[in-house]
Amino acid sequence: MTISEVLGIAALLFGLFFCVVGITGMVRLPDVYSRIHAAGKITVLGVNGLLIGAALLMPEITLKAAILALFLVITAPAASYAIATAAYRQGVTPVGVTRNDLAERDQPQE
């Protein structure tokens, strides 16, 4: 077993761990905002770990995996932000919030 195979399997296990933890979080967390955070972890850490592992185990797909990983890292935070903003504007209240910075910003101006 070569070092690239060992690193590839380790990256796959890393990605699998974050996918399982993120899915568990999406099922167990109380509100949409916490679930968006869990989904972000699945995308950024889980899927990118799987892509890195696949690229190490199959060198012929390295360029495609790198482009896809870069695309995910760029678009996932923007998508999460858009979903959270839409939920907040629809009146979905966060559970257990001690401080809400958006409540002051979104008050109607007099």
> Can you give the residue ranges of every domain in the chain?
3-91
Is the pLDDT reported for residue 107 higher than 70? no
Give the Cα separation of 93 and 69 in Å (integer): 32
Amino acid identity for residue 66 in this structure = A
pTM (2 decimals)? 0.81
Give pLDDT tens digits for 27-61: 999 999 999 999 988 988 999 999 999 999 999 99
User: How much is the pLDDT for 108?
Assistant: 54
Q: How many CB atoms lie within 10 A of CB 47?
A: 19
Tell how far CA 12 is from the center of its chain: 16
Helices (H), 3-44: 3-28, 32-41
pLDDT of residue 27: 94
